[in-house]
Amino acid sequence: MIKLSNITKVYPPDITALHKVNLHIKPGEFVSIVGQSGTGKTTLVKLLISEEKADEGKIIVGGWDITDIGQAEISVLRRQIGVVFQDFKLLQKKTLFENVAFALQVCGEPQRKINNIVPQVLKIVGLENKMHRYPLQISGGEQQRVVIARALVHRPKILLADEPTGNLDSINADEIIEILQKINKFGTTVVLVTHNREVVNKLRKRVITIENGLIVGDQAVGKYIL
Amino acid sequence: MFLFSFFRVIKFSFQDIARNIWLSIITVVIITLALFSVNLLLAVKILTSATVSAVKDKVDISLYLKSEAPENLILTLKSQISNFDSVKQVEYVSKQAAIESFRDKHKNNQEILQALLELGKNPLSPSLIIKPKDINNYDDLIVSLNKIDNDIIESRNFDDHKAILTKINNIADKANEAGLFVSSLFVLITILVVYNAVRVAIFTHKREIGIMKLVGASTWFIRAPFLISGMIYALFGVIAIIVIIYPLLGLVQPYLATFFSGFEINLLDYYNSNFLLIFGLEFLAASLVNVLASLVAVGKYSKV
């Protein structure tokens, strides 16, 4: 599903975020990528959605070599990957319904289909009664659930969650992880980037540890070891 | 799919304008102020050109004829001059008409009227008043008039007119040059003000543009609502300027008519007869600046 071969990313002048990283994530896996701040976890996510380009190596997502992907293809790639960000990245001037619908609208889906799917997805994350509110009118945990709904709405094969619990209290964080597990059970590959030890240890799934841009650990049923 | 996107883009434009209503109002106000400056400049330009043309139109050449010249010869000469390419109109002022006009002009000056009475005869000569077709060909006309060999012509001294004309032409040229410079400067400032207003408006959407891009929106899908919003702002700006300009013109026109009495200068008429041209061009120009600013600004913030 995701294959990184010898990936190196250097930020000017000489900060090596990732060095010769090799990684293979199979379809349907739930993988946690852990490491301290500044070790290259977010760079990895950025490379997977082509927000950054690798300096060396090859990246394959869903059988598609995205190493040198063109500007026009980036939007196509992003429509196939669901992304959950730590800072939510919701459109503040759009309602929850419109935020989720936007991910379908950019794909050119007909309005009837959007009107049908969006309430269903918002129901999955428990926000069906708040769909006409604006992001600032709901809590942080609820905002993160909207982001998950938006990431799920076009049924992506891969869901990348970059520190999805970073801005949440433990109760909301547990809820978010539960939702991610549910999504994984339906067959979506989930890549969870986090430095939340408690969350990782509770999951008992594959854990990849990154330190100073290098993969220093890859356990099938792992724990947060740093 | 294209149609879905097209209608969505239009919907997003209106949504964006309504949900950022204060920003939209400020942008429209800036466009309106900029257009007001342009219209003010246009009005000044119209008035200057109309005044110079009116003054030029008042310039004519008087060809004085001998007192005893028979009328049939005068009329023949009139017809001969009328046939010149550079002549717009020739008016014959007979001795009688000249004295009547003189008396009328000095009706309040008893000394002059008394002197005329004591003279006992009409001292004025008949004349032909020639209006040139184009004041720039004045010299050619003088040459043609000087070439006429006719005994009934008493005087053909045109130098005074030439000096006045040179002055008028100089003033007109300088007014045009200054006008062009001021207009260019004004238009440049206006473009920069509107361009920056739109860029600032889009800057407030910087984060939003980035998010749209991360969710998978194509650059076109992000750009298009801003382009359409820009055109809607331009349209509202032009509508606002029409609503402001017309009452102002109605208010100012009577004063202009009094100030320029004797000249046919009517700003309101000019605006009425050139309505589509003036406001159509202003809409196109404002839209163009908005679209350009939107393209640059969105392009800058959508590199995610």
Q: What is the pLDDT of residues B120-177, one digit of tens each?
A: 788 888 888 888 887 777 778 888 888 888 888 887 766 666 677 777 778 778 877 8
Question: Residue B1 pLDDT more than 80?
Answer: no
pLDDT tens track of chain A, all 226 residues?
A: 899 999 999 998 888 999 999 999 999 999 999 988 888 898 999 999 999 999 999 999 988 899 989 888 898 898 889 899 888 889 998 999 999 998 888 888 888 999 999 999 999 888 999 999 999 999 998 999 999 999 988 888 899 999 888 878 888 888 889 889 988 998 999 999 988 888 888 888 999 999 989 999 898 876 776 6
Q: Does A6 touch chain B (CB under 8 A)?
A: no
3-state secondary structure of A215: strand
Residue (of B232, B229, B234) closest to B294 by Cα position: B229
Q: Does B221 touch chain A (CB under 8 A)?
A: yes
Instruction: Tell me which residue in B1, B208, B216 faces A75 most closely, judged by beta carbons.
Output: B216
Q: Does B209 touch chain A (CB under 8 A)?
A: no
Indicate the pTM of the whole model: 0.70
Give residue A181's pLDDT.
Answer: 92
Give residue A120's pLDDT.
Answer: 92
Task: Check: CB of residue B234 under 8 Å from CB of residue B287.
Answer: yes
Give me the total of CB pairs closer than 8 Å, taking one residue from chain A and one from chain B.
56
Type of residue at A224: Y
| pLDDT tens, position by position, B23-53 | 899 889 989 988 998 898 888 888 877 777 7
Residue-level length of chain A: 226
pLDDT band at B54 (very low <50, low <70, confident <90, very high): confident
CA A209 to chain B, closest CA, distance in angstroms equals 26
| pLDDT tens, position by position, B198-225 | 788 788 788 888 888 888 888 888 888 8
Task: Check: CB of residue A146 under 8 Å from CB of residue A125.
Answer: yes
Q: Does A223 touch chain B (CB under 8 A)?
A: no
- Best of B6, B22, B211, B229 to disrupt the A interface (most A CBs within 10 Å) is B211
A2-11 β-sheet, strand order: A15-25, A2-11, A56-61, A64-65
3-state secondary structure of A141: helix
Give residue A138's pLDDT.
Answer: 95
Q: Which residue of A has its CA nearest to B208?
A: A91
Q: What are phi and psi of A160, to 5 degrees?
A: -100, 125
Q: Does B215 touch chain A (CB under 8 A)?
A: yes
Q: Do A79 and B19 touch (CB under 8 A)?
A: no
Q: Do B214 and A107 touch (CB under 8 A)?
A: no
Q: Do A108 and B4 touch (CB under 8 A)?
A: yes
Give residue B117's pLDDT.
Answer: 81
